[in-house]
Amino acid sequence: MKFFVGLFLGFSLGVGVGLLLAPQSGEATRAQLSEQGIQLRTGTFNDDIRARAQEALVQGRELYSRTKTELNGRYTRAKSGGEL
């Protein structure tokens, strides 16, 4: 029980400090939260997350491919007695 009370108090304190130190006005913050709520209800938020995840996956695959190619080249040069 003490854990949940502490968790709730910590969460509440975090939200309060976050709102006080926000880089924009309360009105702008409320508008942004409202917009995000609408996106969650309409599903456009999910589409945005899915698109970002797909983009990150493509970038990760490209990085993997470049790294693999470079490491294979270094391995081949080292195996043949060449310099790294």
Q: If you write DSSP's letter for every residue of the chain in order, what string do you get?
A: -HHHHHHHHHHHHHHHHHHHT-SS-HHHHHHHHHHHHHHHHHTHHHHHHHHHHHHHHHHHHHHHHHHHHHHHHHHHHHHTT---
What are the tens digits of pLDDT across the range 56-68? 999 999 999 999 9
CA–CA separation, 55 vs 8, rounded Å? 36
Other C-beta atoms closer than 10 Å to the C-beta of 29 total 14
- Residue 68: the pLDDT is 95
pTM of the model: 0.44
Could you read off the pLDDT of 15-35 as tens digits, one per residue? 888 877 777 777 887 888 888
Angstrom CA distances, 84 to 18, 51, 67, 80, stand at 50, 39, 15, 11
